[in-house]
Structure 1
Amino acid sequence: MPRFSLPGFESVSPSRRDALPSTDRRAVSVVVARAGSALLAALLVLFVVAAPVAAQGEWPQLLGPSGDGHAPATRTATEFGETQNVVWKTEIHGKGWSSPVIWRNQIWMGTADEDGKRFWGVCVDRETGAVVHDRLLFEEAEPKFCHDMNSYASPTPVIEEGFVYLHFGVYGTACLRTDDGTVVWTRRDLPCDHFRGPGSSPTLWNDLLILHYDGFDYQYAIALDKRTGATVWRNDREIDYGTDNGDVMKAYNTPTVIRVDGRDLLISATSKACLALDPATGTEVWRLRYPEFSSTGRPFLAGDLLYVNSGFGTAQLFAVRPDGSGDITDSHVVWQVGKGIGSKPSQIAVDGRIYSIHDQGVLTMLDAATGEEQWRKRLDGELFSSSPIYAGGYLYFCSHEGPVTVVRPGAEPEIVSVNRFDDGFMATPAVAGESLFLRSRKALYRIDP
């Protein structure tokens, strides 16, 4: 049986002692050498309490540490709202569906003018909600059309120790230092007509920043040196789209790296196909074909299977064995389902079950091994674009209109609460420690239990 795992980010934070800065670890070592047991216990508690926020877990990319919507948190709020359990609320200017990413005490996200003429990276203090950096990164005199359901700042950044990478599709990509917000490098020379606005978020693998540009005119995956921004490889899509209509060639998916049999694979879903590439070179390993286009939901690994959402018009969800080569469409598909699968939100797996929120608000639960439907229910809210997350033993679903539904997963899922806000949600939530971070159309909230 092949062995599968997710590289790059750990799902569980390191021990709190190991998360201390090296100077604090040395201080603890001195205490161990010199203190008696009672004093030692007291001082160790002091150091643990004083540990940096990083010890409580980060949310470094779209859909969290493993890119599958799972948070390591064991306790999160289930009852909250516009005025309930809100630690702080910070207005975010402009229009952006970028989800927040979190590292230590910083929360970063992108935003832009509604007309797409200016683009910013915004950093908020995790503890206070104060805006730390509000960096104007790019200006565009004549931006191309963006659909009202989208924004010019929909791609979610990716963050690591010392650096954050903000991406606005063809309008620009920037690497910033997180300590002072200074720009390290930018790229604005990568062609793509998104046709409906940008949507694909970046991912990090080793020393590479990997991006998708799937537009009306050009379609390719590209890897940049994360320290310099220089191109390392580019893979131009060689896909039979069945048409010369570029609207069918565009896509909004985010690359994902998984590990299969000791080898890393870059899962690069797009219109009409999902490709597995060697992340070091961009060389194709296998492909899965499907008839749909404008793929959006991020692929994810659960157990031994990779789950791939095919996009629009009517989305299908494929469960695939990811250990093949060449065209695996007829050989490695375990099951495929076309009923109840949302086109925009990603799906999520919990305890052998797949939860899929349709764009129109119907939540469906499938058996992860067979694809058999086991349960369905309409949630509060008319439209859903945000992807669900799993934290503290609960699933969270954010709607366009404002209701956020909390569901306890299981053989008979339970609606735990429906929480109301003054504005709706397009961005996917983030989690750090026991805190939920929800970005509405106009503000960022921190919610604590």
Structure 2
Amino acid sequence: MTPPFRSSRIPAIRTLLTHGWLGASAVLATAGETEWPQFRGPTGQGISQAADVPIKWSATEGVAWNVEVSGRGWSSPVLSKGRLYLTSAETDTASGDVTLHALCLDSKDGHVLWDTEVLRPDPGKVAAMHRKNSPASATPIVTGDRLFVHFGHMGTAALDLSGKVLWRQTELDYPPTHGNGGSPVLVGDALIFSADGQKDPCVIALDAKTGVLRWKTARNSTAKKLFSFSTPLAIEVGGVKEVISPGSGFVGAYAPTDGHELWRVGYGEGFSVVPRPVFAHGLLFLSSGFDRPTFYAIKPEGAAGDATATNVAWSISKGAPNTPSAVVVGDEVYFVSDGGIATCAAASTGEVLWNERLGGNFSASPVAVDGRVYFQSETGVGYVVKAGKTYELLATNELGERSLASYAVADGAIYIRTEAHLWKIGR
């Protein structure tokens, strides 16, 4: 598979999640990949170097196992050392309270190794929820010795890998709209996430060892609707570490040490921003959110202050996604609109090479494996497309169950969370 970008062409710019920013795990995206430690994998950008990943499957064919997952949740599974981790929201049969859980499953057969109740939030905090959201939508992060779980305004926690809660942080209350959707990023020993609620949106960093607040930076957005749900991405530009976090009205770059804003690029009234940024070829690829999204390529090198007029390389409005993130393979960037239009464009120029309707609606972010791009629809249909300048559909795979979560990928297998089950596709 062609690397997502060529470091020889842009030596001063790189993503940091592939170089030890996941703490003790120090996960590298290498051939024979068996780790998927965070939302969108080792790099946080949907790229896998796994081998022998299946192309075709159905609810009855190519399935290694599927197990029922108790409760509800749209967090994507993560994987480390043969163990899968995810979160779920359950209802206490005695009190009727919603309880928030972290689960660990054996990747060989799917049996539950442990299930820990992490938080029991106030019922009022879980009442307002979008139909496509859940109380447990943020994807965990797993390192060599810890699991970090995030439930937005309801709280954040760290567990050891036996399921013991090490700390809880429930003091950072904010008024959400539609619940929580964004996942955190681990940058050294700081756990960083957006808190873009209906008022006073901000970016927050916790001490990963203790859960204590490190810093909190106000967005200072002029957008009329302030709520958003994006997951940050950590990069390095010219030796400077930056955390890229899209919010309503603009995407901002923040210093991971103290949270001060390094630069921003505005996109008007864009709100409810969900896609995680992607970084390749010296460009950030991201979408501006509702109501009419625009897909942007932004050059972070040389950006300072308000860089809207100077650092936008190109943009595309037709087929831009509101929810799924993009993925870059070789010299092309791929994305799918919520309405099912898949697009391939030249990463450096934005020239559209093809647009094709896959069918159905999409929320999950695509993954790229071995020269293929995998898209998952909301009805549980997986579309496998050959990466390239011409469109070639390789397979259409139906599971027959609603799915909003993104894939986890390992050697020989894809892990898919649907409304009631977790599936292992492959060997």
Q: TM-score, normalised by structure 1?
A: 0.86
What's the CA shift for 1:121? Answer: 0.7
8 Å CA contact 1:2–1:260 kept in 2: the answer is no
- Deviation string for 1:253-305 (max 9, x for gaps)? 00110111112110011000101011111011100011211111011101111
- Give a deviation string over 1:81-114, Cα, whole Å, max 9, x none: 1111111111111111100111112111111137
Quote the residue 1:325 is aligned against.
304
CA separation in 2, counterparts of 1:228 and 1:206? Answer: 14
What is the deviation of 1:124?
0.8
Task: Say yes or no: does 1:442 pair with 2:420.
Answer: yes
Tell me how far 1:308 sits from its aligned partner.
2.0
Q: In the alignment, what sits opposite 1:3?
A: 12
Instruction: Find out whether 1:311 has 2:289 as its counterpart.
Output: yes
Cα distance in structure 2, aligned partners of 1:8 and 1:368: 21
Distance 1:375 1:353 in 2: 11
Higher helix share: 1
Q: How far apart, CA to CA, are the structure 2 residues paired with 1:80 and 1:10?
A: 34
Structure 1 residue runs of 4 or more that deviate by more than 2 Å after TM superposition: 8-11, 54-57, 113-116, 140-144
Structure 2 letter corresponding to 1:221? V
Return the alpha-carbon distance in structure 1 between the equivalents of residues 322 and 246 of structure 2.
13
Match for residue 232 of structure 1 among 197, 204, 214: 214
How far, CA to CA, are the matches of 2:183 and 2:97 in structure 1?
Answer: 17
Q: C-alpha separation between the residues in 2 aligned to 1:330 and 1:56?
A: 40
Aligned to 2:271: 293
Partner of 1:160: 143
Residue 354, structure 1, aligned to residue 333, structure 2: yes
Q: How does 1:339-350 map to 2 (within 5 A)?
A: 339-350=318-329
Residue equivalent to 1:51: none
Q: How far apart, CA to CA, are the structure 2 residues paired with 1:354 and 1:393?
A: 13
Aligned: 1:363 with 2:342: yes
Contact 1:342 1:357 in 2 (8 A): yes
Q: Matches of 1:116 and 1:62 in 2, distance apart?
A: 28
1:22 is aligned to none
Aligned alpha-carbon RMSD (Å) = 1.9
Partner of 1:28: none
Counterparts in 2 of 1:28-43, with a 5 A limit?
Answer: none
Structure 1 residue 223 and structure 2 residue 223: aligned? no
Alignment-derived partner of residue 174 in structure 2? 192
Say whether residues 1:406 and 2:384 are aligned partners. yes
The residue that corresponds to 1:35 in the other structure is: none
1:145 aligns with 2:128: yes
Aligned to 1:169: 152
CA distance in 2 between counterparts of 1:116 and 1:205 reads 34
Aligned counterparts of 1:230 and 1:186: Cα–Cα separation in 2: 9
Residue 317 of structure 2 corresponds to: 338
- AA aligned opposite 1:311: G
Indicate the larger mover: 222-231 or 108-117: 108-117
2:256 is the alignment partner of 1:279: yes
Deviation at 1:434, TM superposition (A): 2.3
**1:81 alignment partner in structure 2:** 58
- Cα contact 2:336–2:342 (8 A) shared by 1: yes
Measured after TM superposition, the shift of residue 393 of structure 1 is 2.2
Q: How does 1:200-215 map to 2 (within 5 A)?
A: 200-215=182-197
Question: Conserved in 2, the CA contact under 8 Å of 1:222 and 1:235?
Answer: yes
Whichever of the two has the greater Rg, that structure is: 1
Query: Whole-Å Cα distance in 2 between the matches of residues 419 and 410 of structure 1?
Result: 20
Identity score, percent: 33
Map of 2:103 onto structure 1: 122
| Secondary structure in structure 1 of the residue aligned to 2:105 | strand
Alignment length, in residue pairs?
Answer: 402
Matched with 2:351 is 372
Corresponding residue for residue 100 of structure 1:
77
Counterpart amino acid of residue 268 in structure 1: S
Q: Distance in 1 between matches of 2:109 and 2:154?
A: 31
Aligned to 1:260: 237
Structure 2 distance, partners of 1:204, 1:159, is 10
What SS is found at the alignment partner of 1:165? Answer: strand
Unaligned ranges ≥5, structure 2: 1-9, 21-25
CA contact (8 A) 2:18 2:43 kept: yes
Deviations 1:176-222 (A, max 9, x none): 001x2000000111122221010010110111111111001231111
Residue number in structure 2 paired with 1:181 = 163
Larger RCO (CA within 8 A; separation ≥ 6): 2
1:381-428 Cα offsets, whole Å, 9 max, x none, are x21100100113211111111211111111112110101112021000
Residue identity in the other structure for 1:9: T
Query: Equivalent residue of 1:341, what SS?
Result: coil
Q: 1:274 to 1:411 in 2, by over 3 A?
A: same
- Give the conservation status (yes or no) of the 8 Å contact 2:17–2:44: no
Q: Secondary structure at the match of 1:170?
A: helix
CA deviation profile, 1:147-190 (whole Å, cap 9, x unmatched):
11111111111110110001111111110001x20000001111
The 2-side partners of 1:9 and 1:132 are apart by: 28
CA contact (8 A) 1:116 1:152 kept: no
Alpha-carbon distance, 1:70 to partner? 0.2
Question: Partner amino acid for 2:410?
Answer: A
Contact 1:10 1:65 (C-alpha < 8 Å) held by counterparts: no
Give the Cα–Cα distance (whole angstroms) in 1 for the partners of residues 347 and 241 of structure 2.
Answer: 23
1:132 aligns with 2:113: yes
Go from structure 1 to structure 2 and tell me whether the alpha carbon gap of 1:227 and 1:250 turns closer, same or farther (over 3 Å shift): same
